[in-house]
Structure 1
Amino acid sequence: MLKRIRTPFSELMKVDFPIIAAPMFLVSNTDIVTEASEAGGIGTFPALNYRPIEKYAEALKEIRSRTSKPIGVNIIVNKSNTRQNEDLKIALDHGVDLFITSLGNPKRVIEEAHKNGAKVLCDVTNLEHALKVQDQGADGVIAVGAGAGGHAGPISPLVLIPWLKTRLQIPIIAAGGISHGSMIAASLALGAAGVSIGTRFIASKEAQVDLAYKEAVVKSTPEDIVMTTRVSGTPAAVINTPYVQKLGTDLPWAIKVLKENKMTKKYMVPLIHLMGMKSLEKAAINPTWKTVWSAGQSVGLVDDILSVREIYQKLINEFEESSKALSKSGLE
Structure 2
Amino acid sequence: MSQPIETELTKILGIKYPIIMAPMFLVSNAAMTIAAIKSGITGAIPALNYRTDKDLRAAIKEIKDKAKGPFGINLIVNKSNVRMKEQLNTCVELGVDFIITSLGSPRLVIEACKPKGIKVFCDVVDVEYAIKVQELGADAIIAVNSEAGGHAGPMSYKELIPLLVEKCLIPIISAGGVGTGKQLKEKLELGACGISMGSPFIATNEAGVSDDYKQAIVDYGAKDIVMTTKLSGTPCTVINTPYVQEIGTKQTWLERLLNKNKTLKKYAKMLTFYKGMKSLEKAAFGATYKTVWCAGPSIEYVKKVQPVNEIVEKLISEYNS
Match in the other structure for 1:327? none
- What is the CA distance between 1:186 and its match in structure 2? 0.3
- How big is the shift at 1:17? 1.0
Tell me, what secondary structure is at the counterpart of 1:263? helix
Partner of 1:248: 248
The equivalent of 2:263 in structure 1 is 263
Match of 2:36 in 1: 36
1:19 corresponds to: 19
Query: What RMSD, in angstroms, separates the aligned Cα atoms of the two structures?
Result: 1.0
Residue type matched to 2:188 in 1? L
Q: 2:125 aligned with 1:88, yes or no?
A: no
Post-superposition offset of 1:266:
2.3
2:136 is matched with 136
**1:153-199: per-residue Cα shift (whole Å, max 9, x none)?**
11111111111111011111111111111111000011100000000
Would you say how many aligned residue pairs link Structure 1 and Structure 2? 321
> What secondary structure is seen at the aligned counterpart in 2 of 1:111?
helix
CA contact (8 A) 1:209 1:285 kept: yes
Say if 1:33 and 1:42, in contact at 8 Å, map to a contact too. Answer: yes
Contact 1:64 1:94 in 2 (8 A): no
The one-letter code matched in structure 1 to 2:166 is T
CA distance in 1 between counterparts of 2:54 and 2:243 reads 34
User: Which residue is equivalent to 1:208?
Assistant: 208
CA positional deviation for 1:264: 2.4
**Aligned ranges for residues 1-332 of structure 1 at < 5 Å?**
1-321=1-321
Deviations 1:191-238 (A, max 9, x none): 100000000100111001111111111111111000000011011000
Q: Which stretches of structure 1, 4 residues or more, deviate above 6 A after TM superposition?
A: none
Task: Specify the SS of the correspondent of 1:34.
Answer: helix
Secondary structure of 1:40's counterpart equals coil
- Code of the aligned partner of 2:269: V
- Aligned-pair distance for 1:257? 2.1
Letter matched to residue 287 of structure 2: P
Residue 120 of structure 1 aligns with an amino acid whose one-letter code is: V
Kindly provide the amino acid, as one letter, of the partner of residue 173 in structure 1: I
Sequence identity (%): 49
- In structure 2, runs of 5+ residues without a counterpart are none
How far apart in 1 are the matches of 2:270 and 2:129? 21
* Structure 1 residue matching 2:271: 3-state secondary structure: helix
Q: Which moved more, 1:159-168 or 1:260-269?
A: 260-269
The two structures have a TM-score, normalised by structure 1, of 0.95
Cα separation, 1, equivalents of 2:196 and 2:118: 18
1:111 alignment partner AA = E
Q: Is the Cα contact below 8 Å between 1:35 and 1:43 reproduced in 2?
A: no
Residues 235-260 of structure 1, C-alpha deviations (whole Å, 9 max, x = no match): 10000011111110001111112223
